[in-house]
Amino acid sequence: MLEREVILDSSTMVIDFLLRKYKADRKWTLMVIEQLSEEDIVWSPTPESNSIANLIAHIWANVHHCFEIAFFGVPYTRDRDEFERDLKMSKEQAIELTTIQTFT
């Protein structure tokens, strides 16, 4: 029984660490977004490059997908077609996407 308790204790520590890291990274991401203009959010240096809006959407989806795989056993899937290269997102939408309280 002690071995199971140690494993559960370790799992709890890992989950706690990941949630604290997620919250800290979200805080810094929001601070950066707040400093950007509406034009900055959708600008990309070349047509082949991602805008900040694309990167925000990609990071949000990736983090949530990884949590779903690790903690809820959701199978890994990758659908690159749904990742829109020329994503138009307002600053408000970027902040809203970043502040969704899924894991807290």
Q: Please report the beta strands in 1-104, taking only residues with DSSP state E, as ranges in sequence order.
A: none
Terminal CA-to-CA distance of the chain, rounded, Å?
30
Segment 39-71, tens digit of pLDDT: 999 898 888 888 888 888 888 877 777 777 777
Token digits of residue 66:
């990884």
CA distances from 13 to 17, 41, 103 (A): 6, 36, 15
Segment 10-33, tens digit of pLDDT: 777 877 887 888 888 888 989 999
Per-residue pLDDT, 8: 62
